[in-house]
Structure 1
Amino acid sequence: MQITFKLLNKEEATIILPYLDIMNSQKVPMDLLKERFSEMLDQNYEAFAIYDDAQLIGCFGLWNMTRHYCGRSLEPDHVYIEENYRSKGIGKQLFEWIEVYGKEKGVTTIELNTYVENFPSHKFYNNQGFIARGYHFLKKI
C-alpha cells in the first residue's frame, strides 16, 4: 500500500465530488454542491485526493487563514477515507502530512470541526493531539 496525498487543481477537483456527496448530511442537491465547491476553490481553500498507488481512496480539503487568537491556521475539512481503508493508519499518516505541510506554509495552528455525534472522530482527533475547545454553532438565514 503506497498512500499519497495530491493537491488538485480546479479542473481535477471534481473527482472528489462523489465523496462530498456521501458526506452530504444536509442533502444539498448535486448541482448546488458543485456550485458551492467551485466557489470554495476560488477562495482560501485547497482540495486534495488520497491515493493508494493510482487508486483514489479518499479526499480532504484545507482552508488557509489567519485568526486573531492563533495566527496562521489550517482547517482540514470533509476528510473522507473509503471504508475498506479505515483503521489502517491512513488517517494518522494524513494528519502527520497536514502538520508538515502546514509548517512549510508557516502555519502555527490546525483547527477542525466534527459533528457532535461523530464519537469515533472525537477519539481519533484526541489521539492525534487535538483538544476540544468549544462548540461550532450554525444558524441558517
Structure 2
Amino acid sequence: MSIRLIKPGDDLTAVATVMQQLRPALTVAEIIARMQQQQSEGYQLVCEEQDGDIRALAGFVFVRKLAWGKALYVDDLVTEETHRSKGAGKRLMDWLKVHAVENGCEQLHLDSGRQREDAHRFYDREGFESNSLHFVFRVASSQPS
C-alpha cells in the first residue's frame, strides 16, 4: 500500500468513482469537473492505493483563519466501501496529520454531516474535538424580500 498526492492533470476517473461514494448526488463527470476547478484554486487530493485500486481518498486545502491560524482543512474524506474498517482511513488520517505539521499548520479541521455517525466515532478515536456547528445559507435559492 502507498499513499500519494494526486497531481493536477492526473486522470481523475478512479478518484471520482470513489469520491462519488461520499457525494452520491453528483455524477462522476461533475465530480471530475469540480475537482479540476478546485485544484486550480489550491485543492489537493491524496489517496491510499494498492495494486492501482484506491482504498481511501481525501481532498484538502491549506487555509489561514483568524480563529485558527494556519490549518489543513479536509473538504472530503472517504474510504472505498469494500475497504472500510480495515485501516485505510486511519493511515490516510495519520498522513494528513503529519502533512499538516510538515506544512506549518497549527490545526487540522473538517466538517461532517450530522447523519455520519460512523465517521464521528472515527474522528473521536482520532482525537478530534467537536467544538462548533456549521451553518449554511443557500444564496442561490433565496430571494431578498
**CA-atom RMSD in angstroms:** 1.8
Match for residue 34 of structure 2?
Answer: 36
Instruction: State the distance in 1 between where 2:23 and 2:87 align.
Output: 25
Q: Which runs of 5+ in 2 are unaligned?
A: 140-145
Superposed displacement of residue 30, structure 1: 4.4
Q: For 1:40-59, what aligned pairs fall within 5 Å after superposition?
A: 40-59=38-57
Which has more radius of gyration?
2
The answer to whether residue 67 in structure 2 is matched with residue 90 in structure 1 is: no
Superposed displacement of residue 32, structure 1: 3.7
TM-score, scaled to structure 2:
0.85
One-letter identity of the residue aligned with 2:31: L
1:6 to 4, 7, 20: 4
TM-score, scaled to structure 1:
0.87
One-letter identity of the residue aligned with 2:19: L
8 Å CA contact 2:56–2:88 kept in 1: the answer is no
Instruction: Return 129-138 or 29-38, whichever deviates more.
Output: 29-38
Q: Which runs of 5+ in 1 are unaligned?
A: none
Match for residue 97 of structure 2?
Answer: 99
Superposed displacement of residue 128, structure 1: 0.5
Instruction: State the distance in 1 between where 2:36 and 2:91 align.
Output: 28
SS at match of 2:12: helix
Instruction: State the distance in 1 between where 2:56 and 2:93 align.
Output: 14
